[in-house]
């Protein structure tokens, strides 16, 4: 190992240790509130209770029973109406047989297992990171702050990440229909699933689109059966209301790094332009920017990592937990440019390095997470001409041997 590689390895290990300490501290400081119901998991747990009780038609209403959620909670925390397709709530039904606190710990254990699965799926594509430091592919997951935030919040973003990675790996291995199936299974987060599916439609990857439509049809049918047509119609109305109830003061520039903020185009426009543009003009400028980004991405070579970046930027709602999806593009770019010493490859490595560390720094400094959108936009540059992705794992050795240093 050269002196440069040894120095880089030492810097990477030190940085990983620093980020891991922050990760552990965030979890430790928030665990008490989580056990008292201050989590996204409470909403899903409550929805699963209603599904199990046969009250699926009330899933999208807020009543006294939902406000209690679990009478055995130490402090009652009102929950909002369930805001996702009801088929997702089926996954939480097994947890609803347990007291909330026990169910929460079990859910954390399941999420840890999903993180381990994600590491296993992506590790064959991160050979250069593993050559630098054996544990680096795992550290990409374990040390990324949004993973810890999602874990402690009981958020569904780790499940979304697992399905997205399964879809991406299937895409990289040229199993397009399977990739579409996994992508369609994420329809409970349509703000991410639909933009990626649209890009594959523009890229003319018909088998992916077919798989997505097939899985989506099944998910929609299950949801309609659980809630009835009236409940399903209420979900659609609630979703439309959510997308039209933005406030230009939702994310002021001097605001703290709230976990409810997602670094998308809307958030960035609000931060930068809310003092100069009216709300209607903000909507128009954001919509035009999102449309332009999608069209630009449609002219690029098919690239799942690029699709994730575009989906995050054009999404209409979410939280910082959802930026766990950045793991795929960050890891891919970092792996392909880890040994860079100059030029555009070094610039790309520096961008993903800053993007990986930035959530923890923003958390410590109290900066607004919306500003992460600037780094995501910058990351589009090294992905603009990237092809469909890495070759299947069995061909990685020959692939990297052909790569220019």
**pLDDT tens by residue, 73-119:** 544 454 567 888 889 999 999 999 999 999 999 999 999 999 999 99
pLDDT at 58 over 50: yes
* pLDDT score at 56: 77
C-alpha distances (whole Å) from 225 to each of 84, 117, 233 are 15, 31, 12
Q: Which H or E run contains 6? A: helix 3-35
Which of 18-22, 153-157, 238-242 has the weakest average pLDDT?
Answer: 238-242
pLDDT at 152 over 70: yes
Burial class (CB in 10 A: 0-12, 13-18, 19+), 229: exposed
For residue 405, name the pLDDT band (cuts at 50, 70, 90).
very low
For the segment 321-348, the average pLDDT, to the nearest whole number, is 84
Which of 126-135, 253-262, 324-333 has the weakest average pLDDT?
Answer: 253-262
pLDDT at 370 over 70: yes
For the segment 68-73, the average pLDDT, to the nearest whole number, is 50
Q: Does a structural domain hold residue 7? A: no
pLDDT at 203 over 90: yes
What value does the mean pLDDT of the chain take?
A: 83
Which of 33-42, 136-145, 195-204, 255-264 has the weakest average pLDDT?
Answer: 255-264
* pLDDT score at 247: 43
Cα 291 from chain centroid (whole Å): 21
Q: Does a structural domain hold residue 15? A: no
Which residue is it, tokens 């909403």? Answer: 43
How far apart CA 150 and CA 153 sit, in angstroms, is 5
Q: Does a structural domain hold residue 396? A: no
Q: Does a structural domain hold residue 194? A: yes
Q: Does a structural domain hold residue 251? A: no
* pLDDT score at 91: 93
For residue 33, name the pLDDT band (cuts at 50, 70, 90).
confident
**High-pLDDT (> 90) share of the chain, %:** 49
Which residue is it, tokens 């299947």? Answer: 392
Return the structure tokens found at 75: 């402090």
Of residues 389 and 336, more confidently modeled: 336
Burial class (CB in 10 A: 0-12, 13-18, 19+), 264: buried
**High-pLDDT (> 70) share of the chain, %:** 81
Tell me which residue range forms the domain holding 209: 33-72+84-246+256-389
Q: Does a structural domain hold residue 22? A: no
* pLDDT score at 316: 80
Q: Does a structural domain hold residue 367? A: yes
Residue 288, number of CB atoms within 10 A of its CB = 11
How far apart CA 126 and CA 334 sit, in angstroms, is 9
pLDDT at 251 over 70: no
Query: What angle (nearest 5°) sits at the alpha carbon of residue 176, between those of residues 175 and 178?
Result: 70
- Give the global pTM: 0.88
Tell me how long the chain is: 405
Which residue is it, tokens 């609803």? Answer: 96
Q: Does a structural domain hold residue 174? A: yes
Residues 6+ apart with CB under 8 A from 385: 300, 301
Return the structure tokens found at 31: 């665990």
pLDDT at 143 over 60: yes
Number of domains composing the chain: 1
DSSP-derived letter for residue 250 is S
Taking alpha carbons only, the member of 225, 304, 315 closest to residue 261 is 315
How far apart CA 99 and CA 122 sit, in angstroms, is 34
pLDDT at 62 over 80: no
DSSP-derived letter for residue 256 is -
Which residue is it, tokens 């047509």? Answer: 229
* pLDDT score at 390: 60
């Amino acid at each position: 190992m050269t002196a440069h590689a040894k120095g880089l390895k030492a810097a990477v290990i030190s940085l990983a240790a620093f980020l891991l300490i922050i990760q552990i501290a965030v979890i430790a400081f928030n665990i008490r509130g989580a056990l008292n119901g201050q989590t996204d998991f409470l909403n899903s747990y409550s929805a699963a209770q209603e599904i199990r009780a046969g009250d699926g038609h009330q899933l999208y209403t807020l009543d006294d029973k939902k406000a209690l959620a679990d009478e055995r909670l130490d402090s009652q925390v009102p929950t909002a109406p369930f805001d996702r397709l009801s088929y997702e709530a089926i996954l939480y039904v097994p947890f609803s047989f347990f007291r909330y606190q026990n169910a929460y710990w079990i859910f954390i254990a399941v999420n840890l297992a999903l993180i381990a699965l994600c590491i296993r799926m992506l590790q064959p594509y991160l050979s250069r990171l593993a050559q630098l430091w054996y544990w680096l592919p795992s550290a990409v997951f374990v040390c990324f702050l949004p993973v810890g935030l999602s874990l402690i919040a009981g958020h569904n973003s780790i499940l979304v990440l697992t399905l997205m990675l399964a879809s991406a790996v299937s895409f990289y291995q040229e199993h397009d229909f399977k990739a579409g199936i996994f992508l369609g299974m994420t329809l409970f987060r349509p703000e991410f699933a639909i933009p990626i599916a649209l890009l594959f439609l523009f890229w003319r990857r018909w088998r992916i689109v077919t798989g997505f439509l097939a899985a989506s049809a099944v998910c929609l049918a299950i949801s309609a059966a659980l809630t009835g047509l009236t409940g399903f119609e209420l979900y659609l109305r609630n979703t439309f209301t959510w997308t039209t109830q933005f406030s230009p003061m939702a994310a002021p520039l001097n605001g703290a790094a709230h976990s409810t903020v997602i670094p998308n185009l809307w958030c960035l426009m609000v931060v930068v332009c809310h003092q100069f543009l009216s709300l209607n003009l903000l909507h128009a400028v954001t919509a035009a920017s999102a449309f332009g980004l999608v069209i630009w991405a449609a002219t690029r070579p098919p690239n799942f990592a690029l699709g994730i970046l575009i989906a995050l930027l054009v999404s209409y709602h979410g939280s910082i937990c959802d930026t766990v999806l950045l793991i795929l593009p960050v890891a891919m770019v970092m792996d392909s440019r880890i040994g860079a010493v100059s030029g555009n490859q070094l610039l790309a490595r520096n961008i993903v390095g800053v993007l990986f560390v930035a959530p923890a720094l923003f958390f410590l400094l109290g900066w607004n997470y919306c500003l992460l959108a600037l780094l995501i936009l910058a990351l589009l540059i090294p992905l603009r001409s990237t092809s469909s992705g890495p070759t299947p794992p069995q061909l990685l050795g020959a692939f990297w041997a052909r790569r220019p240093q």
